[in-house]
């Protein structure tokens, strides 16, 4: 099976945005063993969209088109597909009703222009949009199947996951590229590569790639075989050896994020958590509250950006801040104790530090103190994070979440100042 991805949008040709949709869809198609042979990008010009789609439908079995499904006059992907498939646009009453309902639920009148989104090439299937107003389309043109999805990444991803991938996989049949991602926090990329080097030396299947960023390293193993199961079997023993060598810095195999691991462990242990945050500005709370049902384990966070707020909300003593500094072990510990008391939780995690670019209360950028407090734990560590403001903040979040993970998993708690 040959697939092709067509991006529609003048903003891509002007270089205002990169075609990250094509990258994401390609990655998903590779996972199910489908070869993508071409990407194309074309502007909001009907003649040229038709030209590109005709060529794509002639040389590929599956064409995924992103963009141009919105309600405005520059959204002309519907018209172009109708022309290529020789299937005139027809207004679908069910979509019209769905659109009206959607606007009604939002308490708004629907602009007339949105009605264009109810126009569908005759005989086309529709892909439901769970996040926006533009329905997706499935249209047959010659021997090819064209899937049209919105250019808004969240809407595109939902439709590709819900409909495009299952349909393509059903036709593509068994063949698979398996990929496993081993996520680590607390060890540097170069050290990880050193530890694993001999396992992959000269290997072309499976292959290994190291991706560092966001205060963690992802080790990605990829194998190709006649079926996903076979490809998985190629990866399995290697992945186990990788895990064995890396040990407890591995926090997840797959897509689970660090905060999701912490949330799962909190739920399993029946424990509750709260935060006291300074430099992270609510970032740890946002991550701990990201999952549905988070309120069963997450009670809240005191984002205390000023010394006065640390004192007023968490009862951090002014003497402590004066004597030891705002960025200090003592302040972090008092913040954690305060959060545990105020939010009435089993575990509290606190951060105080200097995100930069200027020093904070004498502490150079990247200096952070993190404290964890519970009925069976009272731990504090310093962190020295590298990089700019955003990097320091991200590393601080990672270090705080990893402290929770390690405590909940009964692992030794780090005392050194380096995250990796």
Is residue 74 at the binding interface for a second copy, with CB under 8 A as the rule? yes
Among 32, 199, 253, 303, binds a second copy (CB under 8 A): 303
Which string of x and - marks every residue 214-243 that binds a second copy (by CB under 8 A)? ------x-x---------------------
In this complex, which beta carbon is closest to a second copy, that of residue 8 or of residue 124? 8
Site for a second copy in 29-68 (CB under 8 A): 29-30, 35-45, 48, 52, 55
Check residue 133 and report its DSSP letter: S
User: Contacting a second copy (CB under 8 A), which of 91, 101, 122, 207?
Assistant: 207
The residue whose two tokens read 């150079």 is 364
Q: Which of residues 255-294 bind a second copy (CB under 8 A)?
A: 274-275, 277, 280-286, 288-290, 292-294
Judge whether 243 and 183 are in contact, CB under 8 Å. no
Angstrom distances, CA of residue 267 to CA of 140, 295, 363, 404: 47, 10, 36, 13
CB distance 270 to 310 below 8 Å: no
Nearer to a second copy, 86 or 266 (CB): 266
Q: How far apart are alpha carbons 219 and 189 in whole angstroms? A: 9
How many Å apart are CA 335 and CA 333, to the nearest integer?
A: 5
CB of 272 to a second copy, least distance (A): 9
Residue 132 binds a second copy, judged by CB under 8 A: yes
Stretch that binds a second copy, among 86-94, 151-159, 160-168, 327-335 (CB under 8 A): 151-159
Burial of 235-269, coded b for 16+ CB within 10 Å and e otherwise, reads: beebbeebbeebeebbbbeeeebbbbbbbbbbeee
- Nearer of residues 86 and 106 to a second copy, judged by Cβ: 106
98 near a second copy, rule: CB under 8 A: no
CA distances from 13 to 5, 6, 9, 191 (A): 15, 13, 7, 41
Residues in contact with a second copy, counted by CB under 8 A, come to a total of: 126
What is the distance between the alpha carbons of residues 118 and 134, in angstroms, rounded to a whole number? 8
Nearest Cα to Cα of residue 351 among 277, 401, 404, 418: 277
122 or 295, CB closer to a second copy? 295
Residues in contact with a second copy, shown as a per-residue x/- string from 346 to 385 under the rule CB under 8 A: ---------xxxx-------x-----------------x-
Contact flag: residue 251 with a second copy (CB under 8 A): no
Segment near a second copy (CB under 8 A), from 11-19, 237-245, 370-378, 406-414? Answer: 11-19
Site for a second copy in 382-401 (CB under 8 A): 384, 386-391
């Amino acid at each position: 099976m040959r697939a092709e991805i067509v991006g529609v949008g003048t903003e891509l040709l002007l270089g205002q945005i990169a075609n990250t949709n094509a990258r994401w869809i390609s990655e998903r198609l590779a996972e199910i063993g489908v070869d993508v042979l071409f990407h194309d990008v074309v502007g909001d010009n009907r003649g040229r969209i038709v030209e590109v789609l005709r060529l794509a439908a002639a040389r590929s079995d599956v064409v995924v088109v992103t963009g141009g499904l919105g309600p405005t006059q520059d959204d002309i992907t519907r018209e172009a597909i109708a022309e290529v498939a020789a299937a005139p646009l027809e207004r679908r009453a069910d979509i019209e009703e769905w659109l009206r309902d959607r606007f009604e639920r939002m308490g708004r009148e629907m602009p007339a222009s949105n009605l264009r989104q109810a126009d569908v090439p005759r005989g086309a299937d529709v892909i439901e949009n769970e996040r926006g107003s533009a329905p997706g389309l499935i249209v047959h043109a010659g021997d090819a199947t064209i899937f049209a999805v919105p250019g808004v990444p969240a809407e595109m991803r939902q439709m590709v996951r819900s409909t495009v991938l299952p349909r393509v996989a059903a036709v593509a049949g068994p063949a698979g590229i398996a990929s496993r991602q081993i996520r680590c926090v607390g060890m540097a990329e170069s050290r990880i590569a050193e530890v694993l080097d001999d396992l992959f030396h000269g290997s072309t299947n499976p292959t290994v790639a190291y991706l560092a960023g966001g205060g963690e390293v992802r080790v990605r193993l990829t194998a190709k075989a006649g079926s996903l199961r076979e490809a998985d079997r190629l990866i399995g023993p290697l992945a186990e050896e990788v895990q064995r060598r890396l040990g407890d810095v591995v926090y997840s195999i797959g897509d689970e994020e660090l905060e999701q691991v912490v949330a799962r462990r909190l739920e399993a242990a029946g424990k509750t958590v709260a935060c006291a945050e300074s430099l992270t500005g609510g970032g740890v709370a946002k991550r701990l509250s990201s999952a549905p049902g988070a309120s069963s384990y997450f009670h809240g966070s005191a984002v205390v950006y000023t010394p006065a707020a640390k004192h007023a909300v968490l009862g951090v003593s002014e003497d402590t801040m004066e004597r030891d500094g705002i960025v200090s072990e003592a302040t972090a510990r008092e913040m954690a104790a305060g959060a545990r008391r105020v939010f009435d939780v089993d575990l509290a995690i606190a951060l105080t530090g200097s995100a930069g670019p200027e020093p904070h209360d004498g502490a150079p950028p990247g200096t952070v103190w993190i404290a964890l407090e519970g009925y069976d734990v009272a731990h504090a560590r310093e962190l020295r994070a590298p990089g700019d403001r955003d990097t320091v903040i991200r590393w601080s979040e990672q270090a705080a979440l990893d402290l929770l993970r390690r405590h909940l998993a009964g692992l030794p708690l780090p005392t050194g100042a380096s995250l990796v």
